[in-house]
Amino acid sequence: MAAVVDNIAAMALLVGDAIRRAALVVPRGLAATQGSGELTFAELDTRANQVAVALRNAGVGHRDRLAWWGDTSLDAMPIFAAAAKLGAAFMPVNARLGSTEAAEVLEYARPRLLVVDAAHASLAEGWDLPTLDHERLFAAAADAPTADVMEPALGEEDTHVIFFTSGSTGRSKGVILSNRASYLRSYGSPLGESDGGSICMFPLFHMAGWSMALNAWQMRCAVHLADPDADTLLSTVERRRATRLYCIPAVWARVLAADLTRYDLSTLRAADTGTSATPPELISAIREAFPQTVTRINYGSTECGPGTVLPHADVLRKAGSVGLPAIGCWVRLSDDGEVCVKSDFLMDGYFENPEATASALQDGWYHTGDLGVFDDEGYLSIVGRARDVLRTGGETVAPTEVEAVLASHPAVNEVAVVGLPDAQWGEIVCAVVVLRSGDENGLELESLRTHCEGRLASFKHPRRLEIVEALPRTPATGQIQRTLLVERILSRG
């Protein structure tokens, strides 16, 4: 063992080293599962070495970019690990993109090599880009040596991964994360649970999927890949004796609607969630359904990693808040009320987009685009977006303009306008209304739309109406929490 340790680069924070160490210390421990499939740490490390040799023979080396386009699978794990060992930037492409959309991303990214799974191989045919499918890659790797692959020139500031996010302007932005940032985001996280490991509902083109995997591997336990439907998630908890289940609010709503008595969930110790706003009623439901667990709310992004955490002790006391700065993070508000985060976890910038990088990273602070307020104890709540506009059918809509018109409707006491995601329109205009006393059953969507005629362009008219008893507001300032409204609506379906 001493000889192996002597070969590991001293001090540098390298993602490949996290995988090497886990394989050295717990070789037979599970690194990842999916359904009945399993991958131990020894298998992950060995296959990563062999895939790294195959990739190197295909022309991929230090500081090259390796794109991967595939559905979530255990096969993605050694490709990810191999790139880390070679010092190549791993670039997962959204598996849900069509051929034209993916081609646009890859034309922008210009990888040295594209790796595709069987489901996406035909979609990539005819592209002017070196491409290997899983079958050919793993066939080449099968005959490769298993000795550890190390890149002597690899440093912790070298790019580890580039995640492509969908921006409000349409074109994807590539978020560049160094080895150091990826390592620190996952190292020794208090959100990691040992023993049974964590259930991961996120696809592996998403930052959260790989962050959960790395966190599990740093804790020397398994990440269990599962589709985000209630039966798959709960069956996986039971089958794998998992200790942590993390779901976004919309998926938690599916879980809570299921018959929980059909599953043995006794091993769960953490039932976590996270967005910029989590409905308090959802938290109460989680606490009631899983009383043996702790629940924490996490707020962050691909660009900054962790931002704030609302600990278990405060999830009911500080309803609607996203908590206090996470470990290692500084959080402040700009003069305009925008939430800014500073830490060693931040991205290096956006891939070949200096204008967007300069706008997002200013004097070491990442500007999130979220508007927030602190209460008198320093707990942060998100109240909206700094550029609070909707994009519907290619048109821009200012919520305040629509609210001003809707507020004059005789049945409306209070109103907030928010955008809801929609496959056809991008977003749709949704009016959230508190009715005047006596009008509890007297308002229909068509009435609001008629009221807007002659006052607003048709694309600004609401396409959905939600009637509520009260609008959520921050305790300290009384500002409407638009982001919380959206999460409440989406979690109800």
The total domain count for the chain is 2
Bridge partners, 106 (sequence order):
none
Q: Residue 11: its pLDDT value, please?
A: 74
What is the C-alpha to C-alpha distance for residues 336 and 481, in angstroms, rounded to an integer? Answer: 16
* 343-396 pLDDT per residue, tens: 999 999 999 999 999 999 999 999 999 889 999 999 999 888 787 788 888 788
Whether residue 287 lies inside any domain: the answer is: no
Q: Residue 170: its pLDDT value, please?
A: 54
* 247-276 pLDDT per residue, tens: 988 899 899 999 999 999 999 999 999 876
| Residue indicated by tokens 């580890």 | 160
Q: Are 411 and 435 in contact (CB under 8 A)?
A: yes
CA 409, 412, 413, 419 torsion-angle sign = negative
Single pTM value for the model: 0.85
Contacts of 434 (CB under 8 A, 6+ apart): 412, 413, 414, 415, 467, 468, 469, 470, 471
Torsion from C-alpha of 205, 164, 352, 90, nearest 10 degrees? -10
Whether the per-residue pLDDT at 477 is higher than 80: the answer is: no
**Helices and strands (DSSP H and E) totals, the chain:** 16, 26
- How far CA 461 is from CA of 393, 420, 431, in Å, comes to 12, 14, 9
Question: Domain ends where: 186, 211, 238?
Answer: 186
Whether residue 406 lies inside any domain: the answer is: yes
Whether residue 301 lies inside any domain: the answer is: no
- How far CA 362 is from CA of 17, 197, 304, in Å, comes to 31, 37, 13
Provide the residue range defining the domain that includes 76: 2-186
Whether residue 243 lies inside any domain: the answer is: no
Whether residue 375 lies inside any domain: the answer is: no
Whether the per-residue pLDDT at 442 is higher than 80: the answer is: no
Whether residue 412 lies inside any domain: the answer is: yes
* Residue-wise DSSP of 245-277: EE--HHHHHHHHHS-GGGS--TT--EEEB-SS-
Q: Residue 277: its pLDDT value, please?
A: 74
252 closest CA partner among 285, 226, 227, 225: 285
Whether residue 227 lies inside any domain: the answer is: no
Question: Domain ends where: 186, 203, 220?
Answer: 186
- Strands of 136-295, DSSP E: 159-166, 172-178, 198-200, 223-225, 244-246, 270-272
Q: Residue 193: its pLDDT value, please?
A: 52
Whether the per-residue pLDDT at 99 is higher than 50: the answer is: yes
Q: The domain spanning residue 48 has which CATH number?
A: 3.40.50.12780
Q: Residue 389: its pLDDT value, please?
A: 81
* CA atoms within 13 A of residue 136's CA, in its CB half-sphere: 12
Reported as a pLDDT band with limits 50, 70 and 90, residue 7 is low
- How far CA 7 is from CA of 2, 156, 169, 299, in Å, comes to 9, 16, 46, 38
Q: Residue 190: its pLDDT value, please?
A: 52
Whether residue 262 lies inside any domain: the answer is: no
Question: Domain ends where: 186, 208, 240?
Answer: 186
Mean pLDDT in the chain?
Answer: 92
Q: The domain spanning residue 455 has which CATH number?
A: 3.30.300.30
* 387-440 pLDDT per residue, tens: 778 888 878 888 988 998 999 999 999 999 999 988 788 889 999 999 998 776
| Residue indicated by tokens 């006393």 | 437
Averaged over 155-177, what is the pLDDT?
A: 85
Averaged over 31-41, what is the pLDDT?
A: 98
Assigned token pair, 243: 């200790």
